[in-house]
Amino acid sequence: MKKDLVIIGGGPAGLAAAVEAYDQGVHDILILERDSELGGILNQCIHNGFGLHTFKEELTGPEYALRYVKMVKERKIPFMLRTMAVKLKGGEPIKITAMCGDERWNDRREEVLLEAENEPLAGLQKGAEGLEIEAKAVVLAMGCRERARGALNIPGYRPAGIFTAGSAQRFVNIEGLIPGREVVVLGSGDIGLIMARRMKLQGADVKMVVEIMPYSGGLKRNIVQCLEDFNIPLKLSHTIVDIDGKHRLKGVTIAQVDEAGKELPDTAEYIKCDTLLLSCGLIPENELSIDAGIEMDRLTHGPVVNDRMETGCRGIFSCGNVLHVHDLVDNVSKEAKAAGKSAAEYVLSGAGEWGKATRPKSPPKSRYTPTPERDFTNQLICIGCPVGCLLTVNKRSDGQLEVTGNSCPVGAEYGRKEMTAPTRPLTASVKVTDGIGAVVSVKTSADIPKNKIMECMAEIGRAKVSAPVVAGDILLKDIAGTGVHIIATANMLSNPAPENKMSQKV
């Protein structure tokens, strides 16, 4: 098969690159995605906080992904699902080998994307040879994976109950399954914080979030919304030094570390828990790139690229988490757009002189150290956006609340509300009957009172809706008497043959 442009990875990076390349005039494009749907990791990030820059509104992960999927579909850009690129070779043309899943699944999955018009390419028969593709240009958008326990080298037993935060997230948000009841989270990056809250909402007892650094790598807004809101302690400068439990996890031993990161044995403390979530960093998935001999940057673990996102290998571009780990998907989309544009230019007019490859600039990482002096009675952190301004709210003589410290009006509004009637958006998932999946992700149509969160979760937990569900459908009305509705944030098609699953269970 011959293509002008092949995009490896159908996450936000790959999709944005494809859309931009199309708009720049390259129409012979193919997206390869190894998962069963487009959208990448966003499909399981059902919380909100995406798209403030790109779409000027706060979206959940699946909603953000759907917007790009829609753009891809509007342009009829072909994609192959359950198809994994396994080999890449530079040159003219660039050669890609892919492994392709059962074609029937491609057909079936296609229905999930309700507005689907473009057929996925007639793929290969299952078990057939690898798929060979020749391309003029390639965009690498394979994303990243999480650091596993082994890489952290935590001593102790290897029982069931130790998950990376991302796999626990998948269990809860996509499969509707429960990975744990008494949870300790190691690592206080955003994913760790989000999962601490998610487990709590799901009814688990989240004992603490343990962080080896003296600060949290998560956004301030997430510290507030995920930990402070639920009284989950954050143990800075602590780590896990032992794992107990021969079959299922029984507990972990935590200990404080000194400035050099060395454990202080006297501080060891045993924490009973049945589940440990690891959120200890992401590693760009560059097996393909390394295999192709593309020069890598030792710091970012991504390819070295020039200012047009081209790697050291001609015609091969890179963007998104495979290039360097991004905190915000909006930055991924922006970077991917640039990569898509350059790839299109390369296809249309050849390489030219593009300047030397350099390390990609990654935005400074957030570092949150709680201010001990913070006066909880009138000082708050604004959760309106990732900046996280420290607000001070005082009562004026006329009884009005005055907010200082905010950088924009959102903060003033938030500060006043937080002191009088605090509210929060809520995201979760609702069980689906007869769907191709077990749950569909949802959000509240408006913020709900903070003290109603668990009540709403109980109602959401009891609810069952039947497939099909389309993103935007109102699934539950007037939840817990708040007047707020529960709205689907993703699509869920009905299972065409539910009896299949049953008969297999006999």
Q: Say if residues 334 and 359 touch (Cβ distance below 8 Å).
A: no
User: At its nearest, how many Å lie between ligand FAD and the CB of residue 443?
Assistant: 13
Question: Which of 76, 158 has the CB closer to another protein?
Answer: 158
In whole angstroms, the minimum distance from the beta carbon of 158 to another protein comes to 7
Do residues 102 and 82 lie in contact, with contact meaning Cβ atoms separated by under 8 Å?
yes
Q: Identify the residue among 143, 161, 187, 245 touching ligand FAD (CB under 6 A).
A: 143
Distances (CA, A) of 363 to 8, 11, 324, 326, 327: 24, 20, 10, 8, 9
Shortest distance in whole angstroms from residue 166 CB to ligand FAD: 4
Structure tokens at 381: 């952190």
CA distance 69 to 323: 21
Q: Least distance to ligand SF4 from the beta carbon of 403, Å?
A: 9
Residue numbers at the binding site for another protein (CB under 8 A): 34, 82, 84, 86, 99-102, 105, 124, 126-130, 145-146, 148-151, 153, 155-161, 163-164, 166-167, 170-171, 174-181, 203, 241-243, 246-248, 285, 287, 290, 501, 504-506
- Supply the DSSP string of 234-259, one letter for each residue: EETTEEEEEEE-SSB--EEEEEEB-T
Residue 30 φ then ψ, to 5°: -140, 130
Residue 243 near which of ligand SF4, ligand FAD, another protein, none (CB within 5-8 Å, type-dependent): another protein
Contact residues for 80 (Cβ-Cβ < 8 A; gap 6+): 30, 31, 32, 33, 98, 100, 106, 120, 121, 123
Q: Pick from another protein, ligand SF4, ligand FAD, none: which does 141 bind, CB < 5 to 8 A by kind?
A: ligand FAD
Map the footprint of ligand SF4 across residues 382-441, applying CB under 6 A: 382, 384-385, 387-389, 406-408, 410-411
CB of 15 to ligand FAD, least distance (A): 7
Element (H, E) at 65: helix 61-74
Residue number with CB closer to another protein (149 or 424)? 149
Rounded-to-10 torsion of CA 49, 55, 59, 60:
-80
The one of ligand FAD, ligand SF4, another protein, none whose footprint includes residue 395, by CB under 5 to 8 A per kind, is none
Q: Residues binding ligand FAD: what is the number (CB under 6 A)?
A: 38
3-state secondary structure of 352: coil
Please name which of 305, 292, 308, 296 lies closest in space to residue 351, comparing C-alpha atoms.
308
Q: What is the C-alpha to C-alpha distance for residues 237 and 234, in angstroms, rounded to an integer? A: 10
User: What residue 181 binds from another protein, ligand SF4, ligand FAD, none (CB within 5 to 8 A, per partner kind)?
Assistant: another protein
Does position 49 interact with ligand FAD (CB under 6 A)? The reply is yes
User: At its nearest, how many Å lie between ligand FAD and the CB of residue 141?
Assistant: 5
Q: Is 424 left (phi over 0), alpha (psi -120 to 50) or beta?
A: beta
Confirm or reject binding of residue 191 to ligand FAD (CB under 6 A): yes
Maximum CA pair distance of the chain? 78
159 binds, among ligand FAD, another protein, ligand SF4, none (CB under 5 to 8 A by kind): another protein
Distance CA 269, CA 233 (A): 15
- Contact between 386 and 221 under an 8 Å Cβ cutoff? The reply is yes
Q: Does 41 bind ligand FAD (CB under 6 A)?
A: yes
150 binds, among another protein, ligand FAD, ligand SF4, none (CB under 5 to 8 A by kind): another protein
Does residue 303 bind ligand FAD (CB under 6 A)?
A: no
Residue 143 contact partner, candidates ligand SF4, ligand FAD, another protein, none, CB within 5 to 8 A by sort of partner: ligand FAD
The reply on whether position 432 binds ligand FAD by CB under 6 A is no
**Chain-centre distance for alpha carbon 259:** 31
Q: Are the C-beta atoms of 208 and 252 separated by less than 8 Å?
A: no
Q: Which residues bind ligand FAD (CB under 6 A)?
A: 8-14, 32-35, 40-42, 45, 47, 49-50, 84-85, 141-143, 166, 169, 190-191, 194, 282, 285, 288, 320-322, 326, 328-329, 332
Q: Which residues bind ligand SF4 (CB under 6 A)?
A: 382, 384-385, 387-389, 406-408, 410-411
